[in-house]
């Protein structure tokens, strides 16, 4: 497994991370233990979750799975989502953050969180209040690094400028939806992160599963898959033409489109780690295998031509 610095911080993370939004929903406690243990065994150290995943069960199951193995994992969790009815149960206020960090620490069974991320922007809370609260947690030792998710480029810029002005801990990472089929962040967010040294942690690298190889033109959609519930506009002739072109490119090199999806993202030096969900041990093996494929400049050019045709 390859490891990279998370942005310009000193924290080293595996280039493939473990996404856990299925823990507590499609994966029970025993299954979580199996997946987490297998991830650690193949060298994956970044375990990404949220206080809201699985109705809080994701954090709880991860805490159990990491018992006796805490030193092998980088735990990244998030705060922002609504956790109850009434006021102060959502968002990025000091009140909500200070309450929820204690709940996350308890569920995870740990004394500290390696990377505490703001899950969503909150227009009702000034960013300086959020950053001051997070900085206090860093000084208390409850949180080691901070990051954000689903922020636009201007929102990340505002946060970095505010942290510099206040002299408080800055975000070291940004977690956006990013894949070969969803490149919207390349316009502003990716260049900003590269220029200012924030690590990019793409989620949905497989475009909601379309790049897994599960879906075939003219064939029934596999039951229980993400796109079986909502095809998200993916099942068109144009998208299948693109998928089949990528499959031919991969077949010539004895790789899969799944491996290409990860390798393509990791060819971007601004990407520190690709967050990949897994519900079974064999998915961990498939995901980690992609870390070894290094795309050449010529191959990247050929892929770009396929994606923009």
Which pair of tokens denotes residue 17? 């991370």
Cβ atoms 85, 53 nearer than 8 A: no
User: Any catalytic annotation for residue 61?
Assistant: no
Q: Read out DSSP for 243-283?
A: HHHHHHHHHTTT--HHHHHHHHHHTSTTB--EEEE-SSHHH
Q: Which residue among the candidates 53, 116, 145, 203 is catalytic per the annotation?
A: 53
Cβ atoms 176, 202 nearer than 8 A: yes
- What distance in Å separates the CA atoms of residue 295 and residue 304, rounded to the nearest whole number? 12
- What distance in Å separates the CA atoms of residue 268 and residue 15, rounded to the nearest whole number? 12
Counting beta carbons within 10 angstroms of the beta carbon of residue 252, is it exposed (0 to 12), middle (13 to 18) or buried (19 or more)? Answer: exposed
Catalytic residues: 53
């Amino acid at each position: 497994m390859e490891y990279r610095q998370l942005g310009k911080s000193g924290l080293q993370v595996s280039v493939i991370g473990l996404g856990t939004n299925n823990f507590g929903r499609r994966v029970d406690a025993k299954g979580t233990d199996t997946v987490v243990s297998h991830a650690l065994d193949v060298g994956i150290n970044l375990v990404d979750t949220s206080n809201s995943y699985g109705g809080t069960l994701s954090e709880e199951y991860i805490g159990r799975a990491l018992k006796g193995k805490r030193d092998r994992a980088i735990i990244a969790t998030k705060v922002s989502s609504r956790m109850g009815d009434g006021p102060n149960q959502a968002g990025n206020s000091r009140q909500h953050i200070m309450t929820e960090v204690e709940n996350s620490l308890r569920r995870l069974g740990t004394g500290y969180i390696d990377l505490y991320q703001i899950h969503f922007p909150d227009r009702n809370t000034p960013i300086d209040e959020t950053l001051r609260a997070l900085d206090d947690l860093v000084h208390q030792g409850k949180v080691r690094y901070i990051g954000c998710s689903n922020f636009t480029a201007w929102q990340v810029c505002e946060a970095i400028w505010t942290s510099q002005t206040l002299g408080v801990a800055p975000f070291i990472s940004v977690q956006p939806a990013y894949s070969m089929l969803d490149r919207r962040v390349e316009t502003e967010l990716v260049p900003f992160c590269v220029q200012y040294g924030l690590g990019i942690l793409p989620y949905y690298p497989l475009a909601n599963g379309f790049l897994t190889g599960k879906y075939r033109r003219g064939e029934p959609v596999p039951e229980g898959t993400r796109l079986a519930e909502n095809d998200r506009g993916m099942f068109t002739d144009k998208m299948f033409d693109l998928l089949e072109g990528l499959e031919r490119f991969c077949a010539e090199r004895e790789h899969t489109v799944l491996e290409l999806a990860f390798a393509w993202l990791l060819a971007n030096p601004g990407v520190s780690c690709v967050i990949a969900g897994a519900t079974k041990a064999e998915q961990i093996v498939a995901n980690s295998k992609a870390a070894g494929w290094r795309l050449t400049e010529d191959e990247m050019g050929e892929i770009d031509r396929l994606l923009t045709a």
